Structure 1
Amino acid sequence: METIEMQPPRQKPDPTVPDMDEDELSPIEEVRLTVTNTDDPTLPVWTFRMWFLGLLSCGLLSFLNQFFAYRTQPLVITQITVQVATLPIGHFMARTLPKTRFRLPGFGERRFSVNPGPFNIKEHVLISIFANAGSAFGSGSAYAVGIVTIIKAFYRRSISFWASWILIITTQVLGYGWAGLLRKYVVEPAHMWWPSTLVQVSLFRYINGSLTRKRPKEKKNAGSGGTISKYHNTIARSRFTIEALHEKDEQRMSQAKFFLIALICSFSWYVFPGYLFSTLTNISWICWVFSKSVTAQQIGSGMRGLGLGSFTLDWSAVASFLFSPLISPFFAIVNVFLGYVLLIYVAIPIAYWGVDLYGASKFPIFSSHLFTAKGQTYDITAIVNDKFELDIEKYAEQGRIHLSTFFALSYGFGFATIAATLTHVAVFYGREIYQRYRASHKGKEDIHTTLMRRYKDIPSWWFYLLLAVTLAVSLALCIFLNDQVQMPWWGLLFAGAMAFSFTLPISIITATTNQTPGLNIITEYVMGIILPGRPIANVCFKTYGYMSMAQAVSFLSDFKLGHYMKIPPRSMFIVQFLGTILAGTINLAVAWWLLTTVENICQDNLLPTNSPWTCPGDRVFFDASVIWGLVGPKRIFGSQGNYAAMNWFFLGGAVGPVIIWLLHKAFPKQTWIPLINLPVLLGATAMMPPATSLNFNSWIIVGTIFNFFVFRYRKQWWQRYNYILSAALDAGVAFMAVLLYFSVGLEDKSLTWWGTDGEHCELATCPTAKGIIKDGCPLK
């Protein structure tokens, strides 16, 4: 199967740029094949169109993603939807807005126009960055909103709107302060190439009409190091370079028309799984066949079991947690499938039915809830005292907290993934990272850095001021509103120091290997040992430590995208900063609205059977606050808990990549050995919980259909419509879900019949051990 690579469109030589010698071009082959070596500095970027579409997209995405975050199937509207949807709107505005030029008071003789010419690619890039500024790596909403949710919905305590807003905004922008100062180390050097940004570059150039048919001449190992063989095909596929579509075909439907039709169909269909026939969301037919068998329903339930044979006809369930499968390359789908099978169909059955690990049969086979030793749901509120701290006596009365087998193993796999990522990067990429880092300081500037010298750089004092103000406001929050956030001032400084110290090495790892180790488990583990008994202090520490680092890396990634697309740095900074403030404010406003208007939101035991407001992500966030903060890791994973053996997963994860590397060195001709990527395999199910088997089954099936069969046998259709279909499905579901909520949800108008009575797998949550009694379960 031949792959035709994408070349930059033929452009006139830029007279302001001298002819470049070959060694002055990018040393990374993937960059040379993807990024154009010319720039037009006359293209306007600070336009009315950019501001209008950027603000609109940012506001709309922030509203929709936060609205969906509380639902059982939390669809995330991604940046790709904005990229696809805003392009025709931008061109429409360029055709219809008046071109009149006028003067503004205070600007002298300079003239402005709301329509300065054709809609251009730089405006398009800024609009997309604006829309996605509030979420690190497309997460959907501000991470700190989860703190507000667990305080109000799970702990049933109070936090003021003002304290919530400060918490959200400071955790989102704190990392920007030091990230800007690191740009010269990880953005400007050519060897810091950020593989994931090339996907975005390709998408922007493709949908802005930049495909040609000519195939480039490739040079073997032209300075791109050891990652060419691994990432070349990945990036080539992801950037839609399968076939050139420059030839006009009058018989094919236009992409705009296809998008509109697909959006209408998605919008119309969602009324069935979203309201009229909600069982279509989780079709677990094994439960229907074996309606009285606990084991069969444990195996067949897609929501509360292993999900064998379960599937969905609801796009929100397909795209929840893992994002749209249509935008994920097939090799990634295969890796997720292998990791999913390892956990769900190998580890859990052995632990539950084979060895009864940690008394597994006393608890549901698949649950993220916390339990007592007798299999009853743990009453968390009973062990919290008036100071919002752990009540030792009440905790002793209820006894130790127990986890389901699935939840315990998911933590173990998480521990192993963290360790495996670090050692995998060290043994497989350590030398390459070191060489690239040295080359980034000793090598010449490449053409892209040279072209960016035209634009005014961001003064360093912008970043110093941002860092100082954000840190000062954060300290004020911890000192003067400590009763609401619990974290001491030294905890903030410690979290910031951790995040700062990890930002540069993790940025270098991400920029060279496309792997990003996370700090979430590390931060909550550390704070849980230092200051146990304070749940909100723990999650605040985790958020300041983990999220500020993640936002910093995301900030730098966006700057590399702007570097490749030749966006003026000051425009990038202002758009990212304002987008983050706007998105965080809207996230909080939507969360506050839902938390105060939806009765029993997030309380799945009090909500109606088929209520969508179960907050699966926040449930896991709450459980983490209990495990790491309220009770503390010593009483869960330490000598005072039941799961100390889970710490061995750290060692296993650390040793695993070393063993694979040694096998690769011992048997270099076995090319399949280095393809075993333990961080990918072990981390494939990182979203479980809150994701379920239903989500993974459907995501894998749909992704395989489109990114293997359609990709292989209908390439031209795939390249022309695949990503547009993904955006249309997301948008259609989002708009119908909001419409249903405002039309029938607020009035609590619901239908009651078999098709709206949930999954019909009630026995899936039953324990199988003798003597454990649970309502609705057969006696044993």
Structure 2
Amino acid sequence: MSEEKIYAHKDGNTFISQQDVSSENEKIREFDRDQVVARLKDMNQLGETVDEDPLADKASAYLFEKFLLTSLGDAIQILNTSLVDHYGDVNFSQALYKKIHLIVAGSEAYGTNAEVHELDARLEAVVIRYHSPYPEVRAVTDPFDDPTVPVETIRAYVLGCLWVAIGSFINEFFNYRQPRLTLQSTVIQLFLFPCGKLTELLPDWGFTFQGTRYSINPGPWSIKEQMFATIMVNCGGQISNWLNMVIALRAKIFFGYDWVDFGFTWVINASSLFFGYGLAGMMRKMVIYPEKAIFPNVLPTLALSRALVVKETKTSINGWTIGRQKLFFLTFVLSFLYFFIPNFLFKALSTFNWMTWIAPKNVNLAIITGSYLGFGLNPIPTFDWAVINSYSPLVVPFYAFLNKFAGALISGVIMLALYYTNYKWSAYLPINSNDVFDRFGNDFNVSRVLTNGVFDHSKYVEYSPPYISAGNIVGTGALLAIYTCAFTYVMISEYKLVYSSTKMFWISIRHPRRKALLEFNDAHSNMMSKYPEVPDWWFLAIFIIFTGLCFAGIYAWPTHVPIWTIISIFLFNIAMMIPLLVVMSRTGSTNGFGAFSVILAGYMDPGNAMTNLMVRMWGYNIDEQAESFIADQKIAHYAKIPQRAAFRGQIVATFIQSFCTVGAIEALFKSVKNFCSKTQPDKFVCATPRTMHSDAIMWGVVSSERVLTSIYPAMKHAFWIGALIGVPFAIVQLKYPQRFKAINPALMGYGAIMWGGTYNLSYYIPGLYFSFLFMFYLRRYYTGWWSKYTYVLTSGLSAGVAFSGVIIFASLQYTNTSLPWWGNKIYASGVDYARTAALKKIPPEGFGLQIGQFS
């Protein structure tokens, strides 16, 4: 019996299905495999030729079985629901949305005969209902799950713990060298795979506990074991941001606090690392379970592990027959070898500032086109994948990349306007620098405003206010605006999501045994609902335990940090987590809270550098750890790793990380002579702790109040300006979700905060070309090819660069080996590379506010 169903939206759009028939007793039209294959080729899903049966692999065979069992009525109902669910969804293909709209309107509106109409309706419905509506997700996941595949095996834990220890120690130890050596998770994934394969040679020794057998070799190294160990490495094999502050506090060249010992360092390190987990657990129903939260930034990790472990059926996609694993290793080798060219043999190809070669001493030319000094307006700025990949053009959706590029471009023009009008004396300084200067254009000498380590107002008045570059003014202003902008934009445009998630969180508190995953009806949530969920009280317990550990550390050592400042930053982070995580889950882009916390701390406890550093650490680590935890939980969600297994793996990994990173710091202080000195012979110059030390003086000792009142008063208005900017964008998004769904002011803000550092448009422009090619053109017109190869390609390129960088550092840079020829000198021969040139010459008496004009 036919039943017409109407789906209406408040903007007046109405979707009516004339063919929404009940599937009960409905005869299902039969199609054979050849008909399905032919139609998929017509839809550009399989490319031009097929060497073997394209439905022979497990995923395709599974979906074909679902296709045979899905009636036209079922399909129309699924498609109608998808029109409602994905209305205004920026990651849902606009072309597919229009196609589904025509399908549900009937064969006449669709423009085909009844047979083709039904075939297309059932194909699209099955993919959406039993896999994913997003091709990027389908490319790295399976539509089915096998719960018998080993996950938490002894060998997976051993290898995960081993590489967490190695990765975290090496990354932390070399984090303070310039350039630093980084053992990226993509490289560690490459090591995990052969290690796992070697364990297959071990004997099947084990034991049985409570009916379950545990063996050191349960069989072939599985994809779930690979993903479980990878999650541990992603989580724990990294540096700890807190230890940058420890260097600034402990090193004699900085604050030199002798009481900062191993115990204090570990207590605060552990509490900062674990606290974000508790916070993240409370947000998971909002950003892990929803189908729309695709997390683009985690997809290459899944693609790499699958390419290494999973065998695939040989097919031809648009003439390409190479398998994912072969493509990865081929790309890896070529990228590894090629990286030597722009980073050792011909460095000008990496920093291709060719326009400045015309007139190397021309300051204006360097300001507009230079890769180091200024705006970076260069159509061909590099041939180095490390530079091209600065903003992940093959991972971030095209609309997100375009939003960030637009934000960088618009704010960069503003930076030029400020600079060429000498706003706040910025023309006396380099246009785009993160240094702090005095009125003579020198680095701000913090020792000249201190007496016994305490801010001395009389010395400050006699010396100079701190000044920053035009780029730093724009970047800091954008940083202040982005949080309020993101908060108002997300809270208004995603009010339904915020409300429903808050409601689910309250229900989970009232009914702790209730499965939250049952509230979601997509294929992946349905598969994960078969596993026990992590109870909310586990996250709450971590939250309470490590908050208490933090307070104990602050009281037990002479920090002189008011507890209320830490509580304030906790509360502020909890409020800001919602918009930041929502943006991250949709776009793969995020921004930490640390730099903003520096300014906030300067208001809360002026004159106290220790408070400034502690608040900065909490502001950054809470968000960073929460985002990392949630991203890894999303990997577990896609890979069908049981929640509790992923939770245990992350806790173990973080615990190891908390000791290994602190151990690396102890090793540095004991083994590296003149540690953090600018002239340290092995280049352990501590660039990041040096910046944090300067920021602590400027925003903490000198205080945010002085800087934002007497020196840069307009900057503080960025708070309310950001909030106002978010409102109209959110209202337009609510009223016209389909038309304006790709415009996101928060992403534009992420692009704007680039200024005031070492980045400029020369790092965005090459990525824009690749983003358009892969994330727009190929994704739209060659979906089959894009789905199969894109994430494997970017993983191979990135892994090759990372591994090659380690080899270049260890064998060439560390031994000061170089090739002194034109191709390695030309890029550094002018004022662009020096980064010190300014538009105006500083007068002998200095520039800026005179004595008596600042306090």
TM-score, length of structure 1 as denominator length: 0.77
Distance 1:335 1:617, change over 3 A: farther
Alpha-carbon deviations, 1:628-647, whole Å to 9, x = none?
Answer: 22221111112xx3111012
Asked if residue 734 in structure 1 is aligned to residue 802 in structure 2, the reply is yes
Aligned match for 1:477, one of 553, 577, 580: 553
List aligned pairs for 1:203-602, cutoff 5 A: 204=302, 208=306, 247=315, 252-309=321-378, 311-320=381-390, 322=391, 324-344=392-412, 346-353=413-420, 355-386=421-452, 388-435=453-500, 437-438=502-503, 445-446=519-520, 455-456=531-532, 458=534, 462-463=538-539, 466-483=542-559, 486-500=560-574, 503=577, 519-563=593-637, 565-590=639-664
Aligned match for 1:642, one of 711, 727, 730: 711
Asked if residue 627 in structure 1 is aligned to residue 716 in structure 2, the reply is no
Is the 8 Å Cα contact of residues 493 and 734 (structure 2) preserved in structure 1?
A: no
* Unmatched tracts of structure 1, length 5 or more: 213-243, 776-780
Match of 1:221 in 2: none
C-alpha displacement of 1:692: 1.3
Secondary structure of 2:801 counterpart? helix
Distance 1:742 1:148 in 2: 26
C-alpha displacement of 1:531: 0.7
List aligned pairs for 1:186-197, cutoff 5 A: 186=286, 192-193=290-291, 195-197=293-295
Asked if residue 157 in structure 1 is aligned to residue 276 in structure 2, the reply is no
Secondary structure of 1:103 counterpart? strand
C-alpha displacement of 1:406: 0.8
Secondary structure of 1:766 counterpart? coil
Is the 8 Å Cα contact of residues 580 and 591 (structure 2) preserved in structure 1?
A: yes
Distance 1:460 1:260, change over 3 A: closer
C-alpha displacement of 1:548: 2.1
Is the 8 Å Cα contact of residues 187 and 563 (structure 1) preserved in structure 2?
A: no
Distance 1:601 1:285, change over 3 A: farther
Distance 2:587 2:809 in 1: 43
Asked if residue 144 in structure 1 is aligned to residue 242 in structure 2, the reply is yes
Asked if residue 171 in structure 1 is aligned to residue 272 in structure 2, the reply is yes
Distance 1:416 1:461, change over 3 A: closer
Secondary structure of 2:828 counterpart? coil
Distance 1:332 1:508 in 2: 13
Distance 1:754 1:480, change over 3 A: farther
List aligned pairs for 1:33-112, cutoff 5 A: 33-34=131-132, 39-59=145-165, 61-62=167-168, 65-66=171-172, 69-70=175-176, 85=190, 89=194, 92-93=197-198, 96-98=200-202, 100-103=204-207, 107=209, 111-112=213-214
Alpha-carbon deviations, 1:364-402, whole Å to 9, x = none?
Answer: 11111111223222112333443x432323322222111
Match of 1:129 in 2: 231
C-alpha displacement of 1:260: 3.0
Distance 1:511 1:480, change over 3 A: same
Is the 8 Å Cα contact of residues 262 and 728 (structure 1) preserved in structure 2?
A: yes
Distance 1:651 1:376 in 2: 33
Match of 1:235 in 2: none
C-alpha displacement of 1:405: 0.8
Greater mean deviation of Cα atoms: 328-337 or 433-442 = 433-442
The residue type equivalent to 1:768 in the other structure is L
* Unmatched tracts of structure 2, length 5 or more: 1-41, 47-54, 87-91, 93-127, 133-140, 508-515, 847-855
Distance 2:303 2:811 in 1: 40
Secondary structure of 2:431 counterpart? coil
Greater mean deviation of Cα atoms: 536-545 or 440-449 = 440-449
Distance 2:356 2:845 in 1: 19
Secondary structure of 1:112 counterpart? strand
C-alpha displacement of 1:307: 1.9
Distance 1:514 1:70 in 2: 27
Secondary structure of 1:637 counterpart? helix
Secondary structure of 1:259 counterpart? helix
Q: CA RMSD in A?
A: 4.6
Greater mean deviation of Cα atoms: 279-288 or 461-470 = 461-470
C-alpha displacement of 1:426: 2.8
Match of 1:119 in 2: 221
Is the 8 Å Cα contact of residues 279 and 539 (structure 2) preserved in structure 1?
A: yes
C-alpha displacement of 1:246: 6.2
The residue type equivalent to 2:618 in the other structure is Y
The residue type equivalent to 2:476 in the other structure is Y
Distance 1:743 1:598, change over 3 A: farther
Distance 1:507 1:649 in 2: 22
The residue type equivalent to 1:285 in the other structure is W
Secondary structure of 1:195 counterpart? coil
C-alpha displacement of 1:623: 4.2
Is the 8 Å Cα contact of residues 361 and 769 (structure 1) preserved in structure 2?
A: yes
C-alpha displacement of 1:682: 2.2
Alpha-carbon deviations, 1:81-125, whole Å to 9, x = none?
Answer: 666x3685377347x424624337xx4886432332343343233
Distance 1:400 1:102, change over 3 A: closer
Distance 1:673 1:157 in 2: 53
Match of 2:112 in 1: none
Greater mean deviation of Cα atoms: 692-701 or 614-623 = 614-623
TM-score, length of structure 2 as denominator length: 0.71
The residue type equivalent to 1:433 in the other structure is V
C-alpha displacement of 1:358: 0.8
Asked if residue 723 in structure 1 is aligned to residue 799 in structure 2, the reply is no
Distance 1:756 1:178 in 2: 48
Is the 8 Å Cα contact of residues 389 and 535 (structure 1) preserved in structure 2?
A: no
C-alpha displacement of 1:171: 0.6
